């Protein structure tokens, strides 16, 4: 039986996750994500397959680099079923509506500049109506963890808890007597809120993410202590704390830790703003799905809201967001985007990044080509909303908040699967090279990092 797997994204890069699996007349995708950062222009290239021929799309989780091109897929002819867990479907819908809004606003902004320069700018990939159309293809009942589903005569799928964000999965595909496992994004163990990743089943071949394949994180406990120290130092010296945060998981992790600080009576009186309508909506979805929490957070949930405390204020309205910048001291501002590629955080940076008493705390990965990466790499000044701003605020990069497994965890997970071969995806090439050498040395496993569009025959 011929099995062909073709990476159509996240091949020797981090974004645009998408794998085409072809098995005797059945075609399915594992994810259909958006390219970001330096890879953004790839979103405008034609899909390397015919969308109308895809029978199933298995969505591992709702981050935009895994779900962001779904409306485009539907717009170009997809008529199949989108299979995922309930939280993934709920979160994907708000993420995609937000993506459409951001693309539209970005297009309008770039268009004005392009017209003055006589240049052409790409239109949005899709509009809000395209997003709404895509909702019809999310199949119910939603898939449950560790339950096998028949997709074809010789094709079965099981989702396992990836421990990455709420409802995230890794995918076990059984094709006759062969087992293929796709990691999606694997979570960092020991985090609050979500459970640790499940161990993978014995597999013949594994496609594994390598975002942090070259390094080990500090423990979450150590990172939480570093985070607390950064927040307290900044507040006590009269500055503001800026936390660029992904709306999913990271924002909730930060709220969880700040609530703990408040309940331990170590957080001085301050104003904490969750300045992101998307993160506010995501937090509500978290509270609707407590059965996906880990045991300790579920216990807290039964007693009180694990993400709320008296100093916290949700700011949905734009005018409310603007007023935050009148505060010169004692504010903790959590806002998107996590990579500084847009969003309200840019306005807060413009008002605070040049101030030595303030702090900028990164709690998420910063891909190449993003403003966040430039600051992490030590830029003295950066352009924000068309203006050069000095980087004088104290910059922290706290990687233990990452929702991605590190080298140690990836290796342990792989060794449990015992595959014949590993295929390295969702990582920068230098990190893949380090991880490839590491797993060969430590567990004796051969690996290959496929190129975009490379067909792998089994």
CATH, domain range 220-401: 3.40.50.10890
The reported pLDDT for the residue numbered 120 is 83
Q: pLDDT band at residue 360, thresholds of 50, 70 and 90?
A: very high
pLDDT at residue 223 tops 90: yes
Which of the following CATH numbers is that of domain 3-215+403-457: 3.60.15.10, 3.30.70.380, 3.30.379.10, 3.30.9.80? 3.60.15.10
Each residue's pLDDT tens digit, 125-176? 999 999 999 999 999 999 999 999 999 888 999 999 999 999 999 999 999 8
* DSSP states along 321-363: HHHHTT--SSEEEEES-TTSSSSTHHHHHHHHTT-TT-EEEE-
**Residue 112 neighbours by CB under 8 Å, 6+ apart:** none
In terms of Cβ atoms closer than 10 Å to its own Cβ (0-12, 13-18, 19+), residue 216 is middle
Q: pLDDT band at residue 393, thresholds of 50, 70 and 90?
A: very high
Each residue's pLDDT tens digit, 323-355? 999 999 999 999 999 989 888 999 999 999 999
pTM: 0.92
For residues 151 and 173, give the distance between their C-alpha atoms in angstroms, rounded to a whole number: 10
H helices within 86-151, ranges in order? 86-117, 128-135
pLDDT at residue 106 tops 90: no
Nearest-CA neighbor of 84 among 6, 178, 157? Answer: 157
Q: Where are the domains of the chain?
A: 3-215+403-457, 220-401
The reported pLDDT for the residue numbered 341 is 85
Please check whether residue 71 is in contact with residue 93, taking contact to mean a CB–CB distance below 8 angstroms: no
**Residue 318 neighbours by CB under 8 Å, 6+ apart:** none
Each residue's pLDDT tens digit, 165-209? 999 999 999 998 999 999 999 999 999 999 999 999 999 999 999
Q: pLDDT band at residue 113, thresholds of 50, 70 and 90?
A: confident
Each residue's pLDDT tens digit, 48-90? 999 999 999 999 999 999 999 999 999 999 999 999 999 999 9
Residue that has been written with the tokens 């990190």 in this structure: 431
Mean pLDDT of the chain: 95
The reported pLDDT for the residue numbered 185 is 98
């Amino acid at each position: 039986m011929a099995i062909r797997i073709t990476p159509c994204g996240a091949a020797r890069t981090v974004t645009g996750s998408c794998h085409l699996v072809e098995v005797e007349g059945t075609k399915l995708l594992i994810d259909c994500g958006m390219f970001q950062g330096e890879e953004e222009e790839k979103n405008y290239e034609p899909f390397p397959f015919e969308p109308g021929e895809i029978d199933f799309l298995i969505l591992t989780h709702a981050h935009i680099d895994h779900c962001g091109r779904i409306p485009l897929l539907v717009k170009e002819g997809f008529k199949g079923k989108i299979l995922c867990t309930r939280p993934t479907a709920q979160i994907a819908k708000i993420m995609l509506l937000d993506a459409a809004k951001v693309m539209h606003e970005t297009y309008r902004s770039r268009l004005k500049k392009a017209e003055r320069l006589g240049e052409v700018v790409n239109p949005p990939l899709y509009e809000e109506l395209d997003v709404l159309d895509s909702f019809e293809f999310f199949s119910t009942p939603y898939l449950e963890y560790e339950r096998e589903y028949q997709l074809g005569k010789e094709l079965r799928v099981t989702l396992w808890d990836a421990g990455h964000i709420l409802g995230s999965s890794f995918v076990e595909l059984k094709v006759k007597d062969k087992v293929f496992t796709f990691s999606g994004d694997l979570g960092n163990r020991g985090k609050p809120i979500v459970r640790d990743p499940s161990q993978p089943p014995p597999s013949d071949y594994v496609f594994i993410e390598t975002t942090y394949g070259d390094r080990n994180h500090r423990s979450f406990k150590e990172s939480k202590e570093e985070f607390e120290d950064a927040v307290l130092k900044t507040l006590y010296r009269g500055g503001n704390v800026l936390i660029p945060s992904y709306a999913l998981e990271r924002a909730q992790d930060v709220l969880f830790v700040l609530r703990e600080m408040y309940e331990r009576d170590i957080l001085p009186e301050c104003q904490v703003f969750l300045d992101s309508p998307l993160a506010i909506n995501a937090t509500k979805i978290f509270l609707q799905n407590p059965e996906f929490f880990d045991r300790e957070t579920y216990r807290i949930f039964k007693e009180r809201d694990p993400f709320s405390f008296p100093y916290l204020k949700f700011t949905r309205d734009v005018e409310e967001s603007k007023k935050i910048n009148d505060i010169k001291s004692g504010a903790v501002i959590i806002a998107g985007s996590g990579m500084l590629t847009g969003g309200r955080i840019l306005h807060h940076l413009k008002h605070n990044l040049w101030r030595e008493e303030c702090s900028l705390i990164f709690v998420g990965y910063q891909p190449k080509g993003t403003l966040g990466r430039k600051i992490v790499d030590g830029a003295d000044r950066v352009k924000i909303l068309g203006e050069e701003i000095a980087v004088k605020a104290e910059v922290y990069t706290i990687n233990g908040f990452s929702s991605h497994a590190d080298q140690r965890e990836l290796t342990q997970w792989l060794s449990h699967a015992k595959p014949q071969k590993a295929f390295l995806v969702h990582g920068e090439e230098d990190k893949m090279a380090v991880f490839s050498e590491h797993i060969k040395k430590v567990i004796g496993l051969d690996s290959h990092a496929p190129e975009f569009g490379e067909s792998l025959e089994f």
